[in-house]
Amino acid sequence: MKIRTILIFLALSGLSASNAFSWGSEGHDVVVRMAIRMMKPSERKAVYDLLGTHDTHYIGHWADAVKDQNGTKNWHFVNIPDRDEHYNADRDCPNGDCIIAKLSMVQATIRNHAASRQARKGALLYWFHLVGDLYQPYHCYGDKYGGNDIKVYFKGKETNLHALWDDKIIWYKNSSPTLLAEDIFNAHHRVPPTTTTFVDAAEKSHALAVKYKLRNNSNIDADYVARSWSTINACLWEAACMASTIGPDV
């Protein structure tokens, strides 16, 4: 990313936008809280110093708030088709305009200490958000518009499969980012290998999306809610583990 471009993005940071295409802001907030908690104190300080804020809601949500204005919508997902379990860059990430290529780019910017502080700050905001999106199964699912075109009924209301996973189930559980982060920490999930690549994570998300896909007009029953809730918790945990790995490089 050109440094000037990031400066333009930062200038737009006060704008608002809908949450319709990402973990809801609560899911992102939880990922940021857990990732920062996993860091060593020196790493945490470096992250807060660069970002200039401790506001985990802002850090997690910023990239969604600017995407409609700065043409970065495609940064938030990758379209791996239902029929194929593997990512194919030429097919799924044309012109490098997808979450996998953009995560590599922002990671490189954060690690490039010759880049301006503003550029590295913008990249770090993208990092925390996009790693979260990478672990939302339907952000790595190319059919039916990432599940947005699969209508489902949840608690008597019409919604869609993508939104169900972004935030409807999280809201239904009626926790708070603080409590949910605490619950996930206390559940002692397995820490994924530090060698996990963006492609590994995307393919895992895609497999979950295929596993949990539903027919159009499905009713969401209690069993689906229970199973998906435990998967969502594990996804948020794994996202935080990956997000925390940027620490030593900030």
Provide the binding-site residues for Zn ion, judged by CB under 5 A: 21-22, 64, 76, 133, 166
Q: Least separation, in Å, of the C-beta of 81 and Zn ion?
A: 18
Nearer to Zn ion, 21 or 128 (CB): 21
Nearest to 92 by CA among 142, 38, 155, 30: 142
Q: Least separation, in Å, of the C-beta of 75 and Zn ion?
A: 8
Give the nearest residue (CB) to Zn ion. 22
Q: Least separation, in Å, of the C-beta of 114 and Zn ion?
A: 28
Nearer to Zn ion, 76 or 102 (CB): 76
C-alpha to C-alpha distances, 194 to 158, 159, 242, 243, nearest whole angstrom: 39, 36, 8, 11
Virtual torsion, Cα 83, 128, 106, 47, nearest 10 deg:
-160
Nearer to Zn ion, 58 or 185 (CB): 58
Nearer to Zn ion, 21 or 198 (CB): 21
Q: Least separation, in Å, of the C-beta of 139 and Zn ion?
A: 6
Nearer to Zn ion, 43 or 64 (CB): 64
Q: Least separation, in Å, of the C-beta of 42 and Zn ion?
A: 29
Query: 149: helix, coil or strand?
Result: coil
Burial of 132 (0-12, 13-18, 19+ CB in 10 A): buried
Is 141:147 a contact under the CB 8 Å cutoff? yes
Distance in angstroms between the alpha carbons of the first and the last residue of the chain: 17
Nearer to Zn ion, 87 or 137 (CB): 137
Phi, psi of 157, deg, nearest 5: -115, 145
Is 161:138 a contact under the CB 8 Å cutoff? yes
Q: Least separation, in Å, of the C-beta of 171 and Zn ion?
A: 14
